[in-house]
Amino acid sequence: MAYQNSSNGRALRAQDSSDPADGRGSRAPSAEDSLSRASLTRDRAVPFIVAIDGPGGSGKSSIARRIARELNLHVLDSGAVYRCVALQAQREGFTAKHVQRLLEGKLPETRPDHWGTKGSIEHLIRIAREIDVRFEYDLKNDHQTVFLGEEVVTKDIRHQDISTLTSFIAQVSEVRQALVQKQIDLAGTGCVAEGRDMAKIFPQAQVKIFLEADLVETAKRRVAQDAHIPLELVDKKSPLFRQTLKLLRERNKRDSKQMSKSGYDKRINTTGKTLDGSTRKIVPLVVAALDHYLSGSEED
């Protein structure tokens, strides 16, 4: 597993951090300063991690990618790792209904096949252990390519049936366990890691943020994103909006089992904020943490 990042790292200035910080005339480090130093994380024994969690639609992915682009860090899209497991599981015969029944203990654990485990929790765990996921990022153009083995699955893993299957599979604790080391490997020496339980996977992360957002707004964002229309044009009475709201509510309910606000240093509510607005709140925190990290105090 490896990362490639073809960004040339154009940085926006972090306005909040460009004022004199300590009253002694010195300037707080800007995003640009840190950008030129972010590559230094690869020389460190301890990785530099920004952990971002929050419910679906809270802006995790967009904000993580924006921060990564500004500071020339990688992104760990942990949801994509789970989605790849679901895609592979679907190809091997699993459906959301089947996994739901397995979780409820309503299906026999094993059915005969040449492993003797087809359709069982063990089968899912094996898929999670064996899966080969790789990302390629073009941060400049904000484009991520997801590879499952040699196959590009960027679009396949975003289908609604895969989203639903993923949220059931993600409830299997042994699957989560099997994916811990993969996520640590994918994080490399420095990244913005986004997804459920990132503070648990990376307890040593230098920045840990939990994003929150109002459910109705998250559904509006999802519809606007899928339909490529501005947020203001989303019709809250439309069947599409209602269906999206319903699915998000159900998914957040399932995901809430994996989601804990504890372990995060800061909570940020993104309701009513633009992507730029939320990013501007977070970048100065990351810049300060990166400079603290690079000053050497986190080398051991």
Sorted by sequence, the CB contacts under 8 Å of residue 262 that are 6+ apart come out as 199
* Residue 217 near ligand DC by CB under 6 A: no
Is residue 166 involved in binding ligand DC (CB under 6 A)?
yes
Q: Is 244 in the site for ligand DC (CB under 6 A)?
A: no
Instruction: Compare residues 172 and 283 and give the one whose CB is closer to ligand DC.
Output: 172
Tokens 């640590």: give the residue: 184
For the record, the structure tokens of 288 come out as 């300060």
Q: Do the bridges between strand 207-212 and strand 266-269 make them parallel or antiparallel, or are there none, so unpaired?
A: parallel
The CB-of-86 to ligand DC minimum distance in angstroms stands at: 8
Binding status of residue 59 toward ligand DC by CB under 6 A: no
Are residues 218 and 54 in contact, defined by beta-carbon separation less than 8 angstroms? no
What's the distance, Cα to Cα, between the start and end of the chain in Å? 25
79 binds ligand DC (CB under 6 A): yes
Residue that is written with structure tokens 């991690």 in the block: 49
Strand order in the sheet with 74-77: 74-77, 190-194, 48-53, 207-212, 266-269
| Closer of 225 and 238 to ligand DC (Cβ) | 225
- Which token pair is 210? 């939990």
Which of these segments, 16-24, 39-47, 79-87, 123-131, binds ligand DC (CB under 6 A)?
79-87
- The residue range among 40-48, 139-147, 193-201, 233-241 that interacts with ligand DC, by the rule CB under 6 A, is 193-201
* 206 is an interface residue for ligand DC by CB under 6 A: no
Which of helix, strand or coil describes residue 114?
coil
Task: Name the residue nearer to ligand DC (CB basis): 48 or 202.
Answer: 202
* Cβ distance to ligand DC smaller for residue 74 or 251: 251
Phi-psi region of 238 (alpha: psi -120 to 50; beta: other; left: phi over 0): beta
83 contributes a contact to ligand DC by CB under 6 A: yes
Does 78 contact ligand DC by CB under 6 A? yes
Footprint of ligand DC (CB under 6 A): 56, 78-79, 82-83, 166-167, 170, 195-197, 251, 255, 258
